[in-house]
A and B are shown apart, each in its own frame.
Chain A
Amino acid sequence: EAQVTQNPRYLITVTGKKLTVTCSQNMNHEYMSWYRQDPGLGLRQIYYSMNVEVTDKGDVPEGYKVSRKEKRNFPLILESPSPNQTSLYFCASSLGPGTDTQYFGPGTRLTVL
């Protein structure tokens, strides 16, 4: 089944404790992206990747890192999480950045205390 998976789905952590949210897709998509969704602010892009080893900042990259060592995986790293990073996070992938539909993962609800 074609899908985008994220882990964990739910996470409660404390300020400053490094964490990684994994994202994997099995559709051989080149383009992958991370978003956060907050009430009243909609979906905002954190980082995106056009292909392996190619990543670029979205609208709200501060406090986040990503890597794209393989085409299928695009982990999101929070080196020192803070409470303002409490949010719902979505990973998405598509064949390319142009006209292709993005497929979203199920979401990761993160709470930073």
Chain B
Amino acid sequence: GQNIDQPTEMTATEGAIVQINCTYQTSGFNGLFWYQQHAGEAPTFLSYNVLDGLEEKGRFSSFLSRSKGYSYLLLKELQMKDSASYLCAVRSDTGKLIFGQGTTLQVKP
């Protein structure tokens, strides 16, 4: 079967660092994506990993370990506008994009 797991909810403080984990079991692997989605809006692309290691992009970083079926999204210097859902998605060899349920992050002052 195909399964992607993320925590449902997380809370963090403005200015802090938060790590959102994602574990996956899929048939074939052709990359892992992280998307941000504010309430009522469309998902927007944050990061893409296909090789093991850390990809850094400003305040956001994403890590992948293919052997462990594991990724995380790291958000630094949290801002109130970072309150959103964060979606982990794995692309299979056939082109299908399989999403996790998403992690709702609440940033508090």
Spell out A's residues near B (CB within 8 Å): 31, 33, 35, 40-45, 48, 50, 56, 58-59, 90, 97-99, 101-107
- Cβ-based interface call for B70 (8 A): no
B40 neighbours in A (Cβ, 8 Å): 107
Q: Are A45 and B97 in contact (CB under 8 A)?
A: yes
Which of B's residues lie within 8 Å of A, judged by CB?
Answer: 30-31, 33, 40-45, 48, 50, 87, 89, 91, 94-102
User: Would you call the interface of chain B mostly helix, strand, loop, or mixed?
Assistant: loop
A-B pairs with lowest CB-CB distance, top 10: A97-B95, A104-B42, A42-B101, A43-B99, A101-B45, A42-B99, A104-B43, A42-B102, A106-B42, A99-B31
Contact of A99 among B41, B50, B87, B101 (CB under 8 A): B50
A90 in contact with B42 (CB, 8 Å): yes
Complex contacts, B31 vs chain A, CB 8 Å: 98-99
Shortest Cβ distance from residue A46 to the other chain B in the assembled complex, whole angstroms = 11
Which of A50, A104, A106 counts the most chain B CB atoms within 10 A?
A: A104
B98 engages A45 (CB within 8 Å):
yes
Which of A48, A99, A107 touches B48 (beta carbons < 8 Å)? A99
Interchain residue pairs with CB less than 8 A apart (30): A35-B99, A42-B101, A42-B102, A43-B43, A43-B87, A43-B89, A43-B102, A44-B99, A45-B98, A48-B95, A50-B95, A59-B96, A90-B43, A97-B91, A97-B94, A98-B30, A98-B31, A98-B91, A98-B95, A99-B30, A99-B31, A99-B48, A99-B50, A101-B33, A101-B45, A101-B48, A104-B43, A104-B44, A106-B41, A106-B42
